[in-house]
Amino acid sequence: MNCSLYLIRHGIAEERGPAYPIDDERPLTEEGIRRLEQSVKGLHALDVTLDRVLTSPLVRARQTAEIVAAGLACREPLLVVDALRPGARFEALMAALERLGRERAIALVGHEPSMGEFGARLIGAARPLLFKKGTVCRIDADTIPPVGAGTLQWLLPPRALRAFAKAL
């Protein structure tokens, strides 16, 4: 297996309410940004490199993707794809990955429950994977998009990622 998919749930976002009545427009909180920046240092400690970052168009996911891409010096610009919106279908995500080309390490930034469901489908699991806000998992496959089940290498909640950052 020589390709890696990193599934990432967006960080802590502002609550929906009078300040953010439209869910798509909710940004990350200051704490969410700070924690994500620390988590990305943890990914760096794990030697994660990325060729491309795909993100949901929602503000909180785009902000998460920007932090990840900048912190890991991703060479390609962010790619916003509707296939990572809440409620998107797995087949739409596979079609988006099909259009990419030769990338070998791709981050997918999205939302629950989709990220857990996508992760399960990618490894052939019967139940969704658990994605707290800021969780990252790595799934290795022979190709992108994967054909058949990939291999779950790790699934790390943000607290574990921040612990790796502190170990630097």
State pLDDT tens for residues 136-146: 999 999 999 89
Q: Which domain holds residue 10?
A: 3-166
Q: Look at the chain and report how many structural domains it folds into.
A: 1
Band of the pLDDT at 1, cuts 50, 70, 90? Answer: low
Q: Say whether pLDDT at 84 is over 70.
A: yes
Instruction: Output the pLDDT for position 75.
Output: 83
- 160: CATH: 3.40.50.1240
What values do phi and psi take at 144, rounded to 5?
Answer: -125, 120
Model-level pTM? 0.96
